Amino acid sequence: MYALIYDEHDLARPLKKIISVHDSREVAETALEKRKQELGRKVWECNTRIVWIGGDVKAGGNAKPGEYSTWRPGEEIPEGETHSDTD
């Protein structure tokens, strides 16, 4: 399951709030875009990101490190996501 999580990248706060859950990455990307527009912020200012979470999760719950990952196992990772833009 794909989910939007609230992530401030604060190591003192390892639990991440699950904002919403989705069946596909495309639907999750649409939800992220909608959240960005509602908040009137850039995506990095929303502290929100898409993750893959295995198992039964619900919006409003929490996820801890190890329960989620950026990509679903076996998912094709876009070329631009695997290489740094810097030299």
Number of domains the chain is built from: 1
Find the domain containing 36 and state its range.
2-67
For residue 86, tell me if it sits in a domain: no
SS3 of 23-82: CCHHHHHHHHHHHHHHHCCCHHHCCEEEEEECCCCCCCCEECCCCEECCCCCCCCCHHHH
pLDDT digits (tens, 9 = 90+) for 36-52: 999 999 888 889 999 99
For residue 81, tell me if it sits in a domain: no
Residue 25, pLDDT score = 94
Sign of torsion over alpha carbons 70, 67, 23, 28: negative
- Read off the pTM: 0.81
pLDDT digits (tens, 9 = 90+) for 43-84: 888 899 999 998 889 999 999 988 999 888 888 888 765 555
Mean per-residue pLDDT, 12-36: 94
For residue 79, tell me if it sits in a domain: no
Q: In what order do the strands lie in the sheet with 48-53?
A: 62-63, 16-22, 2-6, 48-53, 68-69
For residue 55, tell me if it sits in a domain: yes
Beta pairing class for 62-63 and 48-53: unpaired
The band of 20, judged by pLDDT with boundaries at 50, 70 and 90, is: very high
For residue 46, tell me if it sits in a domain: yes
For residue 29, tell me if it sits in a domain: yes
For residue 73, tell me if it sits in a domain: no
For residue 35, tell me if it sits in a domain: yes
